[in-house]
Structure 1
Amino acid sequence: MNIVGFIKDHFKQGLPFVAYRKPGAKSISAFFQETDRLFQTDNYSESGFVFAPFDNAFPSILIPESASEVVTEDLEYDLNPNFGLYEEFSENSKEDHINLVTKTIHEINTTRTRKIVISRKEKVALENADFINVFLKLLATYRRAMVYVWYHPRVGLWIGATPETLLKLNRQSFSTMSLAATRPYENTLNVSWNTKELEEQSLVTDFITNKIANVSKDHKTHERETVRAGNVVHLRTMITGAIEKGGEGLSRLIKALHPTPAVCGLPREAAKQFILREEGYERKYYTGFLGEIHMQNNSELFVNLRCMELVDNVAFLYVGGGITAESIPEEEWEETKLKTKTLKKVL
């Protein structure tokens, strides 16, 4: 039985699984858990695949290597015809989001908060939804992203194609990235970024380097660059370093980085509390993180962006953007619309 067959069988039986392809990889990997037990972790000492929420006050879900069949294979993308979709978000979604962005700018201008990432959830009703086909189409469309389908009967069904690495850890060597600012991809990476976008990305970079200094005394910040993620481009700075030997290195890195200013804001705790208080819905696993931990001395985690939660024949799409004092509410709304196209292309 191939991975698609395993996915169908596990979903039918209500058993947890995750199938995914890392950026640029040719093969698909998967964990198929043997029971429906809900495993959780907060110290990240186990081997397996972790699925973590935005709110780090809650534990992460783990599909353990020891309780799963782990499969890797090359996969042909046998795509079915597109199925229909029609949107069911309320008419005041735009007004609500613009009002929230305006309130967020006021918060930034009247407090010490410098950046807050505001998001929204869009409901899309589907006809003849087939989550496996959505997953296969994401694989075929976004080869430079971490593409995944994740399921637990007690949590839900999530699918995504995220461009952002939270961190990679190989023994003691790690790398992470500062990713921020969004523009449409217009057949070139030669982009003239404005002051607001450059400042937004610099805030993320400064935060990460300051936090990493508490974990690693030897780290390097690389040149800022423009990178493509599907139909958009972002500003990215890579940061590399090494940690001391010991069993708590991964946990310390995660706690230092998550949630990053790219998905939360600065100062982190103040921005997080504003989000939890004002955003008006629960992000759940959107802007959390996911990936392998302690697999053959490697851990590779990705920020859960460009994702959707599927419930029966309804897809909930999650998108957001970083707000600073220079933000223009109407443009922030348009940016979220641009980001939903990444997922709507496969619906």
Structure 2
Amino acid sequence: MDSESHITSQTVLPLHGWQSAYELGYAAALWRLPRQKDKHLILNFGTGVSTTKIIPEDLPSGFAISPFLNLEGEDSLFIKADVYFRFNEMGEMVTESNKSAEYGSLKEQWESRCRTVELSALNKNNTSDSSTHTTYSSHLQSVKEALAAIEAGEFQKVVLSRSKHVTLPSPFSVTSIFERLCDKYPNAFVSLVYLPHLNQIWLGATPETLVSVDKEGIFRTVALAGTQSAFDTAGQPIPPKQALWTQKEIEEQALVSRYIISCFKKIRVREYIEEGPKTAVAGNLMHLRSDYAVDTKAINFPELGTVMLGLLHPTSAVCGMPKLPALQFIQEHEGYDREFYSGYLGPVNIDAETHLFVNLRCMKISNGVATLYGGGGITEDSVPEKEWQETELKCQTLMAVLE
């Protein structure tokens, strides 16, 4: 990749680079891909983050983050990579791309801050948040109403989520939490994104690929649903091969798989590979997972990633089946705005690859408060009290690294 700058690996480290951008008010994204060691950092020195439709063939290198409610696809945010770095597991810079000539003075200011910044904490806008999280009784009531709607034939499945608010200590270090997530969840996509125009930080470790296209043109997506604890009642890890799945969980995952296959059929893609379902461990949880792959070069369909993105989001794993009545029920009963939770995020056209993930197991940090999220698929076999417990398990993914 091109490099015109004189930044050295002694000047920029991944965490220092992100925190320097945060302190100076620049949009930034730091991430680590699943089952990899390298960390990636991009910064944008412009005055704002652009809103666009994510069409990788038309976009430069950058990082996308899209809200849950984005049916037309036009409300995604895109952080253009004015500078991009890749670091190995030792924190040494191995790739640098610099496209920020018009922001020379701003970049110099950031470089200077990188040399002196300490990985201490967030202190900006650190005031309390008056919002309240979803209560036990209100969530159970929503689940009961969902079950009644399913029995009435309105939809087969709906995914109901809840939020949970945690007041953060002052000072608080998000970069330390990012590192903990990288260590604790090696199979997840771990990301730390700063959106200065919204005064929001999004931090998470998601297990679910939405759309991925690598250098060889291999498209990938997954059907991930069904949830149980990865530990038994004695606190010991359950071997994946010994996991027992109920009919409810099997059918919930099958709905997601059938939806992906229906999308392939809609665009007449028949040459796909399907693997699974199999038990996949994601931190403190286990899920049922099926993997799908398509060779876009072999079928001469280079736009497959973009087309499938438009068809898949939001998947039945985060919304329901059929999509539109489930979405309407969510809007009427959840009682809060999911914002970027259960949307998608990830790098676009970085090293000739695009990797977008469903934004699960995440938290929003704003005004000194962390908002955590957890959801579960409601089907005719759901038990309201168990659905609440599932959301608690999912929130624990992030709570475990805050404690």
Q: Does TM, scored on the shorter chain, surpass 0.5? A: yes
Deviates more, 1:188-197 or 1:72-81: 72-81
> Residues of 1 paired with 2:133 and 2:159: CA distance?
23
CA–CA distance in 2 between the matches of 1:316 and 1:76?
31
1:241 and 2:294 are equivalent in the alignment: yes
Structure 1 match to 2:188: 145
- 71-80 vs 320-329, which deviates more? 71-80
The alpha-carbon distance between structure 1 residues 37 and 221, as it changes in their structure 2 partners (threshold 3 A), is same
Provide Cα deviations, 1:23-67, integer angstroms capped at 9, x if missing partner: 1111110111122322122142213211111111451111123xx
Give the gaps of 5 or more residues in structure 1: 82-87
Pick from 166, 180, 203 the counterpart of residue 225 of structure 2.
180
- 2:95 paired residue number: none
Could you tell me how far 1:111 is from its partner in structure 2?
Answer: 2.5
Give the whole-Å Cα distance in 2 for the aligned partners of 1:38 and 1:49. 10
SS in 2 for 1:197: helix
By percentage of residues, which structure has more strand? 1
Task: Tell me the secondary structure at the aligned position of residue 197 of structure 2.
Answer: coil
Residue 335 (structure 2) pairs with residue 280 (structure 1): yes
- The 1:141/1:43 distance shift into structure 2, 3 A limit, reads closer
Report the counterpart of residue 213 of structure 2 in structure 1: 169
Deviations 1:292-324 (A, max 9, x none): 222333211111000000013210001100000
123-132 vs 276-285, greater mean Cα deviation: 123-132
2:219·2:305 contact (CA, 8 Å) conserved in 1?
no
Aligned partner of 1:27: which letter? D
Question: Structure 2: how far apart are the matches of 1:290 and 1:18?
Answer: 10
Contact 2:64 2:347 (8 Å CA) reproduced: yes
Q: In the alignment, which residue of structure 2 is the partner of 1:193?
A: 245
SS in 2 for 1:137: helix
Q: CA deviation at 1:291?
A: 1.0
Is the radius of gyration larger for structure 1 or structure 2? 2
Which amino acid in 1 is paired with 2:185?
Y
Q: Which residue of 1 aligns with 2:67?
A: 53
Distance change (3 Å), C-alpha of 1:62 and 1:92: closer
Identity of aligned residues (%): 33
Alignment CA distance shift 1:307-1:203 (3 Å): same
Which residue does the alignment assign to 2:312? Answer: 257
Provide the residue aligned with 1:72 in structure 2: 86
Is 2:371 aligned against 1:316?
A: yes
Q: Cα distance, 1:75 vs. partner? A: 4.8
Structure-2 change in CA distance of 1:204 and 1:92 (3 Å): closer
What amino acid sits opposite 1:306 in the alignment? Answer: R
Distance 1:192 1:307 in 2: 27
Is 1:33 the counterpart of 2:44? The answer is: yes
> Tell me, what secondary structure is at the counterpart of 2:401?
coil
Which of 296, 301, 306 aligns to 2:351? It is 296
Q: Structure 1: how far apart are the matches of 2:303 and 2:276?
A: 29
Matched, 1:210 2:221: no
Distance 2:69 2:300 in 1: 28
Superposed displacement of residue 279, structure 1: 1.1
Change (3 A) 1:218 1:286: same
What residue number does 2:24 align with? 13
RMSD of equivalent CA atoms: 2.3
What letter is aligned with 1:343? L
**Distance change in 2, residues 1:338/1:79 (3 Å):** farther
Whole-Å separation in 2 of the counterparts to 1:121 and 1:205: 27
Q: Is the 8 A contact 2:54 2:76 kept in 1?
A: no
1:20 maps to a residue whose letter is W
TM-score (norm 2): 0.80
Report what 2:136 is aligned to.
Answer: 94
Structure 2 distance, partners of 1:52, 1:175, is 19
1:3 aligns with 2:58: no
The code of the aligned residue for 2:325 comes to A
Deviation sequence 1:62-97 (CA, Å, 0-9, x none): 1123xx21011135699989xxxxxx9869711111
**What letter matches 2:255 in structure 1?**
L
Pair 1:62 & 2:84 matched: no
Instruction: Tell me, yes or no, if the aligned pair for 2:52 and 2:76 is still in contact at 8 Å.
Output: yes
Runs of at least 5 residues in structure 2 that lack an aligned partner in the other structure: 1-11, 92-117, 122-129, 232-236
Maintained 8 Å contact 1:148/1:161: yes
Matched residue pairs, number? 341
Conservation of the 8 A alpha-carbon contact between 1:20 and 1:28: yes
Q: Secondary structure at the match of 1:301?
A: strand
